[in-house]
A = this chain, B = another copy of it.
């Protein structure tokens, strides 16, 4: 619990890392060294315990998780949903290919569960901040993507850092989207408070905090959608290191998720 009062607690800094427009992120590029160059161009360097948050978009570009719409032939299923929802059938085709199953289709939005288990709009397929009629898909294994970037950063700097791959998701009950963690490396994504006591010795109501999601959200505050800043460092944070970390821990199991079950009962499995 620690002493409080006059003791000063540690501040956390969120440092935006823009990447110069002339730096091309393309298939097979060394994302770790590209990110490190950008960090140094911005007048800083990595220190131990930094959490480097990287938007899915540049990871997908570097991993060639991109498709030109012209290369996509929609299935009949995709064409039917596209007509009902007023969407491009080729986009719908991609969304279906990325989906393990459809969770809900409503108001032009197709909510799916991706092969990773993530429940989100359009299977994470996204056409913003890339050129031409192309779309990005989420990395195939975002934890592995995070680990690769982390390994590269640690090799180059000798610093023990963590990496989070973020994406922007909507959520039920609340308006607006927030950044969440879709891949993690080196940081336990959940802070477990089970069995812990509060200041008065009572068991805590909060059982676990999704710190990786909160870090992704904090990073979004300096990234800004239209500024296109794809990386941020969260510095000064105390967190649990974990070499086996996985963002799968952030995905609620269907058996524990009444809202997912209700949606699947209604239209999901029929999709």
Q: Spell out A's residues near B (CB within 8 Å).
A: 1-2, 4-22, 41-43, 104, 106-107, 111, 118-119, 122, 126-131, 168, 171-180, 189-191, 193, 196-200, 202-211, 213-215, 217-218, 220-222, 225-229, 234, 237, 249-252, 256-260, 262-263, 266
Contact = CB atoms under 8 A, between A and B. Distances in A.
A144 B226 CA distance: 32
A165 to B, nearest CB: 15
Which residue, A111, A206, A249, has most C-beta atoms of chain B within 10 A?
A206
Contacts of A263: 258-259, 262
A54 to B, nearest CB: 16
A6 B256 CA distance: 47
Contacts of A178: 209-210, 213-214, 217
A24 to B, nearest CB: 13
Contact of A6 (B6, B41, B190): B41
Contacts of A106: 258
Given A173-B252, A175-B252, A221-B237, 13 more contacts: A14-B218, A119-B173, A122-B205, A130-B200, A171-B171, A172-B173, A173-B257, A173-B259, A173-B260, A174-B213, A176-B191, A176-B208, A178-B217
A225 B6 CA distance: 19
Contacts of A7: 18
A194 to B, nearest CB: 11
B210 A175 contact: yes
A100 B129 CA distance: 42
A22 to B, nearest CB: 7
A202 B171 contact: no
Contacts of A127: 202, 205
Which residue, A128, A189, A256, has most C-beta atoms of chain B within 10 A?
A128
Contacts of A122: 205
A197 B127 CA distance: 12
B225 A259 contact: no
A214 B5 CA distance: 27
Nearest to A220: B214
B252 A225 contact: no
A16 B5 contact: no
A128 B226 contact: no
Contact of A258 (B10, B104, B119, B128): B104
